[in-house]
Amino acid sequence: MLDTPDERGLSFVEDFPADGLGGFLHRLDAQERETLFRLVETEVRGEVSRQLRLENEQWRRGIDGTIQELAAAVRTQVADELHDVARNAVELSIAMAEQILRRAVELDRDVLLKAVETIIFRAERGTSFSLIANPADVAALQDHAEALRELNIISVNPDRRIERGGCVINAGGREWDYTLGGRFERLAEVVRESMLEPPEDRPGGES
């Protein structure tokens, strides 16, 4: 490998040759021309190396930006797909829960009374209640007259529009929809809001 020429020894180099580059080279001897060519080669190699490094850095930055964009796109797509999966799972869970409750109503004809007890025990003591239920449930409740008196249920009225296992409760001008459809509508709303809201909107989520 040739040594790098010492620029301090190039006293023969003219800044502005009067007869041009051709005349200047013609005046140089073989050693001076070799020294000059080495210098030029070194400068050219250095400039090419600097240019390549610059282009490589620009290319790397471009690749990094592209990778970041792709990663963001992938994260968004995965989040959307997971949200779709979660939504489908929630809907399936709600549908299964509804089927389970309907089956429980079919197997246990006292399920309505048990549900009514839970609701009424939360009410203010001394409150009087009236129920509207399916005629079949009204007939079943008549077998529990003592329990109805203890719960302060003063009337039970039939309505064929209400599905078995559900009822409408009235007390002091207020009404509670405890029909199966109403109960599942509220349940579905709560579940969807709690399970399907974006992570950043949940307590403790990212801001």
Q: Let me know how long the chain is.
A: 207
- The structure's pTM equals 0.45
161 vs 120, higher pLDDT: 161
**What percent of the chain shows pLDDT beyond 70?**
75
User: pLDDT tens digit string along 167-204?
Assistant: 898 988 888 888 888 877 777 777 777 765 655 554 54
Q: What residues contact 142, with CB distance under 8 A and at least 6 apart?
A: 156
Domain 108-200 has CATH 3.40.50.300: no
Continuous segment of H or E residues that includes residue 158 = strand 153-158
CB-CB contact of 130 with 148 (8 Å):
no
Amino acid identity for residue 70 in this structure: L
Report the alpha-carbon distance of residue 101 to residue 83 in Å, rounded: 27
Residues of the chain with CATH 3.30.2320.30: 108-200
Output the pLDDT for position 106. 65
User: pLDDT tens digit string along 38-67?
Assistant: 888 888 888 888 888 888 888 888 777 888
Query: What 8-state DSSP symbol labels residue 5?
Result: P
CB-CB contact of 163 with 180 (8 Å):
yes
Output the pLDDT for position 158. 94
CB-CB contact of 176 with 168 (8 Å):
yes
Output the pLDDT for position 88. 78
- The β-bridge partners of 52 are none
Amino acid identity for residue 154 in this structure: I
Continuous segment of H or E residues that includes residue 89 = helix 30-107
5 vs 110, higher pLDDT: 110
